[in-house]
Amino acid sequence: MNKKAQDLSIGTLILIVLGIVVLVLLILGFSLGWSNLWEKINIFQGGSSIGDVVTACKLSVTAQDTYSYCQDFKKIKVDGKVEYVNCLDSRVALGIENKITNCPLRYTSGAESSQTYCNSIKTTLTDKVKINGFDYEKDCTFVPA
């Protein structure tokens, strides 16, 4: 037989498609900025809204995971501003029926856990930060509302 066209294997076709996807991601990453790209794609981050954190907290309660419930803070955006929240945040607690009550002493309330967390990230702060609904200066002094 006389063939005029050469067959493309499925493996070659998949590699071409993957190459195009990687190329597009590289172009977007360098043009938009990598943090903006990951934020838009929403990977490599925790919950992006209060609802996502409520869902994660419900899973923590089901698994009796005290670390995730009491001490693990998620970076979210509320009204376009970055905040850090955990399951002890009053807005999150409204959506959780069952709660874990045996948190370590410094994580027994939203205010205590936010102060502890602020002190742990103090060296990375460059501006004011909101943690569990409380405002802190970059040196972790509480700013009354």
Domain range summary for the chain, segments of one domain joined by +: 10-41, 50-143
What pTM does this model have?
A: 0.63
Q: What is the pLDDT of residues 22-41, one digit of tens each?
A: 999 899 888 888 777 766 67
pLDDT tens track for 58-69: 999 999 999 889
pLDDT at 79: 79
**Average per-residue pLDDT in the chain?**
84
pLDDT above 90 as % of the chain: 17
* Extended beta strands in 1-145, E state: 74-78, 81-85, 129-131, 134-136, 142-143
- Averaged pLDDT for residues 91-105: 88
